[in-house]
Amino acid sequence: MARKRPEPVQVVKQRRDAALNALVHGVPYINFLGIEFERRGDELTAILPFDDKLIGNPMLPAIHGGVTAGFLETTAVIGLAWSGLWDDIESGRLSMERLSEGHLPRMPKTIDFTVDYLRSGLPRDAYARARVNRSGRRYASVHVEAWQDQRNVLFAQATGHFLMPSQDD
């Protein structure tokens, strides 16, 4: 029995990128901050390009703590939603037409979010990655790390708990 031929790489990539794009750019706040996501396979890196409107202390200047919190929370929520949708994206069960029309899948809701400010956010681009430590049927726990120039020099980290969208509605 012949094995099914794997899909062409462009088709796979296009489906993954379309899903990610819809997830990220459908949210006004994410566009307001200017956050973008880069993808390598299923690994996501969030990017926050520096902009004057992100400044919290004009004297230093430094990125606003609330911007850092919003950036990390966005990274956590998108990372969590992405890992939950991955199987549906790969199998093609997730309808790309509905996504492109703006029908986003229901997103996890933040229960609590704790940010550690390790050093002040410099007026440069920032990067963040989320790790889903536990994702159950109802609750999830996600950790996020954020850095600027050096990957090993974090300027903030956060842990959040999330309520997963219920399966039946």
Partner 1 sequence: MDTQKAKMAEHFINAIPHCKALNMKLTQIGNGKASMELPYDSKIVGDPETGVLHGGAVSALMDTCCGAAAMCHPSSPSGTATIDLRIDYMRAATPGQAVRTTAECYRITKSVAFVRATAVDDDEQRPVATATGAFTVERK
- In terms of residues, how long is the chain? 169
Which residue stretch of 4-12, 55-63, 88-96, 147-155 sits at the interface with partner 1 (rule: CB under 8 A)? Answer: 55-63
- Which residue shows structure tokens 């997730």? 94
16 burial class (0-12, 13-18, 19+ CB within 10 angstroms)?
A: middle
- Single-letter amino acid code for the residue at 149: D
Name the minimum Å distance from CB 112 to partner 1: 5
Among the listed residues 33, 78, 89, 128, the single contact to partner 1 using CB under 8 A: 33
Selected range binding partner 1 among 12-20, 49-57, 93-101, 141-149, rule: CB under 8 A: 49-57
The tokens for 116 are 């550690």
- How many binding residues for partner 1 (CB under 8 A)? 37
* Chain centroid to CA 164: 15
Is there binding between residue 67 and partner 1 (CB under 8 A)? yes
For residues 91 and 113, what is the distance between their CA atoms, to the nearest angstrom?
A: 32
Nearer to partner 1, 34 or 86 (CB): 34
For 54, which DSSP code? G
User: Binders of partner 1 among 9-28, rule CB under 8 A?
Assistant: 26-28
- Could you tell me if 72 and 147 are in contact, meaning their C-beta atoms sit under 8 angstroms apart? no
- Number of neighbouring beta carbons within 10 Å of residue 110: 15
Site string for partner 1, 72-101 (x = CB under 8 A): -xx---------------------------
Binding residues vs partner 1 (CB under 8 A) = 26-33, 52-58, 64-67, 69-71, 73-74, 102, 104, 107, 109-117, 120
